Structure 1
């Protein structure tokens, strides 16, 4: 299993804490049942954190006019909305909720030029709430495809997330399926697509980043 680079520091800290717990219990607790319980808790927490930062190697089959899923998770929103930050007009929104057990790497859903990339400070309410898209800590990225279509991808922090990492910079060339960023712990990804986008997923679908086609534009 490959570990994402964004997890190196966190995993090191988790290892030090787990080791300290185990060492303290070994020298201070005589009851073997209690001591082994602490060992188990420390080990499980460490494994959960390591698992969170896994970074699977995936091959993206690039398809013309396709918008691929930028994250693992569950589709929780499909609706027409007014996008107030960049388009300032109606779009089709598709939102994917990532639980703490999902892979949290984010990928570029299309190839093209990055026209806009902006980070916004904000709240840390549950990422499943509608207001999280506009009030939570978030980063918005707009990509213009080679045929002139523009889409917006928004990384949204959740109640547990405390850091959004985004590699997209204005003017750079985005490649469909390449890593766009990472969100630490529970969060969601919002896609804002043209109104004529042909959506290929439905609410409740479990989707896989780089592998599931969200829409054709």
Structure 2
């Protein structure tokens, strides 16, 4: 197998996953001692845990004005919504793009657009299915307010899901990140909400598959109207 083919299947792992892979491997050893059949089930579980915490390299568009998806997954909601009050983005509706991540998606989160983190706000809450609209207001969440070079701000919110029980945020207020840089992770199924500044139209559709750090969500230099799409 060539190096390029190997890299297609073997991805780097986020450091948060090391302890979980070690736990799964330990359970697998015990299962083999009990029954070989159960041991192989444990092997499958260990591989899945590694796969969940994969942290692949992404190629992020660098042209000025492009905003990319912060998460792998599917666009589940696309509508005007008032951003969480704790972000300090005001009480007027902003266009919200919601990206739902299943347990099979990569869960490393990346900053949608370069800027300075002006607010990091955690809020405890419920663990409803992250695909539901009310998950934005009721579920446990951690939000970032990001100030752009032109003075405008946008929001990106990590939302826990039905299975997710831990939101990891690795940035602090005052920190400046580039587009596509990693800022956190959510364990085991969740959702990311992005709140666009006024006058910016989304370039994605409900049901579209997103790739974190690569798929363009919006173009701040474009006057294109919001896109519509159809299943093919």
Same fold (TM over 0.5): yes
Aligned to 2:21: 11
Q: TM-score, normalised by structure 2?
A: 0.86
Over 6 Å off, 4+ runs: none
| Residue matched to 1:177 | 180
TM-score for both structures, normalised by structure 1: 0.92
* SS, match of residue 198 in structure 2: coil
Q: Does 1:22 align with 2:32?
A: yes
Distance, in Å, in 1 between the alignment partners of 2:184 and 2:84 is: 23
8 Å CA contact retained: 2:147, 2:154:
yes
The answer to whether the aligner puts 1:103 opposite 2:106 as a matched pair is: yes
Report which of the two has the higher share of strand.
Answer: 1
Q: Which runs of 5 or more structure 2 residues have no equivalent in the other structure?
A: 1-10, 221-232
Q: Per-residue displacement from partner, 1:92-132 (whole Å, max 9, x unpaired)?
A: 00000000000000001111111100111111111001111
Once residues 78 and 159 of structure 2 are traced to their aligned partners in structure 1, the CA distance between those partners, rounded to angstroms, is 16
Which whole-Å CA distance do the structure 1 matches of 2:12 and 2:64 have between them? 29
**Secondary structure of the equivalent of 2:27?**
helix
> Do 2:125 and 2:141's aligned partners in 1 also have CA atoms closer than 8 Å?
yes
CA RMSD between the two structures: 1.1
Name structure 1 gaps, 5 residues minimum: 26-34
CA contact (8 A) 2:30 2:39 kept: no
Match of 1:133 among 136, 143, 166: 136
